[in-house]
C-alpha cells in the first residue's frame, strides 16, 4: 500500500523500512555516479520550520532539487499565519491545494499529526519535541552501510530521554536491534513510548532496556549513540542539565568498554566536550558521525521519492 506520511517510525512496517533503505541506497548510487534522476519534476515540497536547522533544511532542500522538484522554505514564526493563530486544520487544507508534500519541524508533535490528518498530501516529520524519525532511519541505514546487518546488533543510547531516544526506541524495535538507554533519573524516556516500543520489540525478538550506569549500558555494544543534553527549546535549562548529565559523556573510557569495532554516532549539532569528546567524535576508526550527516540527504531522497512520486 502507498504510504501517505512519515510521522513516526512506528507507523512503518519492517518491510516498508527495508524498502526505504533499498530505495535510498539506489538513489545514493545514482548521485555518486552522476546519474540524473528526476521523478519529482513539477512537484513542490513545503518545508515548514518553527525551529533552527542545518542538516534537515539543507538536505531536504537539496534533495528536492536533485529529484527534479522544488523546495519551498516556510518560516512558521516569521511568515505563516499559523503563528498568528490560524488553525493547523485550516492550514493543512489550504496547503494541500498548493503543494505536493510538506516537511515540518516544530515543537508540538500533535500539530504534525493534525497536519497529516486534515491535509491530503504527504507529511514528513522533520523533528518534534517527541520524535525525530528521519534522523534515526538515517542512523540505522548508515549502520547497515558499515556493518551489513542491523538485526541483532546492540546500540547504547547515552543521555537525554528525548526525541532522539524515542525515535531510537521505535527504530530499534522495528529493525530488530537491541537498545540500551541510560539517562539521569529525572531525564528518562517517555514511559508510554517505552512500553509501546517494547511490544513491537518483543514480536521482533529484540530487547529494549533501561540502564542506570553508562559503563554497564555500553558493555560490548556495536554502536554508541548520543545527543545534546539540552534540546531546542530547553536552552534555559542548559546549566542545570550540564550538572545532571556530567557522568554521561561519551569519552575514550566509555568507548573502550564497547565492542572493539563499535561505531559512534551523534545526530548533530554536537556540543564538543559536553556529551561527547572531540577525540571520540573525530576518531577515524569508530566515528560514523559525518557519514551519518551526509546520509540524511540520501535517505530523505528515498522518503521523498516513495511518498511523492
The question of whether 134 is a catalytic residue gets the answer: no
Enter the DSSP assignment of 221: -
Sheet containing 208-211: which strands, arranged edge to edge? 208-211, 178-182, 154-158, 223-226, 263-266
Using CB under 6 A, pick the residue from 23, 56, 106, 287 that binds ligand CP: 56
Which 100-129 positions form the footprint of ligand CP (CB under 6 A)?
Answer: 127
Answer yes or no whether residue 80 interacts with ligand CP by CB under 6 A.
Answer: no
The question of whether 206 is a catalytic residue gets the answer: no
Q: What 3-state class would DSSP assign to 75?
A: strand
The question of whether 135 is a catalytic residue gets the answer: yes
Q: What 3-state class would DSSP assign to 187?
A: helix
List the catalytic residue out of 66, 134, 241, 267: 267
Q: Between 132 and 249, name the residue whose CB sits nearer to ligand NVA.
A: 132
Choose the contact partner of 227 out of ligand NVA, ligand CP, none; CB within 5 to 8 A by kind. ligand NVA
Q: Shortest distance, CB of residue 118 to ligand CP, whole angstroms? A: 25
String of contacts with ligand CP for each residue 247-276, x by CB under 6 A: --------------------xxx-------
The question of whether 213 is a catalytic residue gets the answer: no
Furthest C-alpha separation in the chain: 55
Which residues make up the interface to ligand NVA (CB under 6 A)?
Answer: 127, 132, 162-164, 227-228, 231-232, 267
**Helices 289-308 and 133-147, interaxial angle, to 10°?**
120
Which 156-175 positions form the footprint of ligand CP (CB under 6 A)?
Answer: none
104-108 long-range CB contacts below 8 Å, 24 or more apart? 104/47, 104/48, 104/49, 105/48, 105/49, 105/50, 105/51, 105/53, 105/56, 106/48, 106/49, 106/50, 106/51, 106/76, 107/50, 107/51, 107/233
Which 25-44 positions form the footprint of ligand CP (CB under 6 A)?
Answer: none
Q: Which of 299, 297, 306, 303 minimizes the C-alpha distance to 57? A: 297
Q: In 148-270, where does DSSP find H-type helix?
A: 163-175, 191-203, 214-217, 238-244, 252-257
Please say whether the beta carbons of 171 and 195 come within 8 A. no
Q: Shortest distance, CB of residue 240 to ligand NVA, whole angstroms? A: 16
Q: Shortest distance, CB of residue 135 to ligand NVA, whole angstroms? A: 6
C-alpha cell recorded at residue 240:
542545570
Using CB under 6 A, pick the residue from 53, 188, 204, 209 that binds ligand CP: 53
Q: Between 266 and 286, name the residue whose CB sits nearer to ligand CP.
A: 266
Answer yes or no whether residue 135 interacts with ligand CP by CB under 6 A.
Answer: yes
Binding footprint of ligand CP on the chain (CB under 6 A): 53-56, 127, 135, 267-269
Catalytic site residues? 105, 132, 135, 227, 267, 296
Amino acid at each position: 500500500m502507498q504510504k501517505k506520511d512519515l510521522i513516526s517510525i512506528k507507523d512503518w512496517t519492517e518491510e516498508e523500512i527495508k524498502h526505504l533503505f533499498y530505495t535510498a541506497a539506489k538513489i545514493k548510487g545514482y548521485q555518486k555516479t552522476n546519474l540524473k534522476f528526476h521523478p519529482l519534476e513539477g512537484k513542490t515540497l513545503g518545508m515548514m520550520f518553527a525551529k533552527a536547522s542545518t542538516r534537515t533544511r539543507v538536505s531536504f532542500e537539496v534533495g528536492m532539487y536533485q529529484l527534479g522538484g522544488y523546495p519551498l522554505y516556510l518560516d512558521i514564526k516569521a511568515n505563516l499565519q499559523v503563528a498568528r493563530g490560524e488553525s493547523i486544520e485550516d492550514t493543512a487544507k489550504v496547503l494541500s491545494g498548493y503543494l505536493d508534500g510538506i516537511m515540518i519541524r516544530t515543537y508540538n508533535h500533535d500539530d504534525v499529526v493534525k497536519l497529516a490528518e486534515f491535509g491530503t498530501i504527504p507529511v514528513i516529520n522533520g523533528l518534534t519535541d517527541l520524535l525525530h524519525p528521519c534522523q534515526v532511519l538515517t542512523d540505522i541505514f548508515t549502520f547497515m552501510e558499515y556493518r551489513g546487518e542491523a538485526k541483532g546488533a546492540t546500540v547504547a543510547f547515552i543521555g537525554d530521554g528525548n526525541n532522539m531516544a524515542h525515535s531510537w526506541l521505535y527504530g530499534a524495535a522495528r529493525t530488530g536491534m537491541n537498545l540500551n538507554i541510560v539517562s539521569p533519573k529525572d531525564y528518562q524516556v517517555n514511559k508510554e513510548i517505552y512500553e509501546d516500543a517494547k511490544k513491537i520489540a518483543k514480536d521482533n525478538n529484540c530487547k529494549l532496556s533501561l540502564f542506570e550506569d553508562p559503563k554497564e549500558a555500553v558493555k560490548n555494544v556495536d554502536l554508541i549513540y548520543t545527543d545534546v543534553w539540552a534540546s531546542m527549546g530547553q536552552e534555559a535549562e542548559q546549566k542545570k542539565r550540564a550538572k545532571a548529565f556530567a557522568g554521561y559523556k561519551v569519552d575514550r573510557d566509555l568507548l573502550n568498554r564497547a565492542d572493539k569495532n563499535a561505531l559512534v554516532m551523534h545526530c548533530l549539532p554536537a556540543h564538543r566536550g559536553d556529551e561527547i569528546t572531540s577525540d571520540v567524535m573525530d576518531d577515524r576508526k569508530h566515528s560514523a558521525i559525518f557519514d551519518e550527516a551526509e546520509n540524511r540527504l540520501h535517505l530523505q531522497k528515498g522518503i521523498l521519492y516513495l511518498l511523492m512520486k
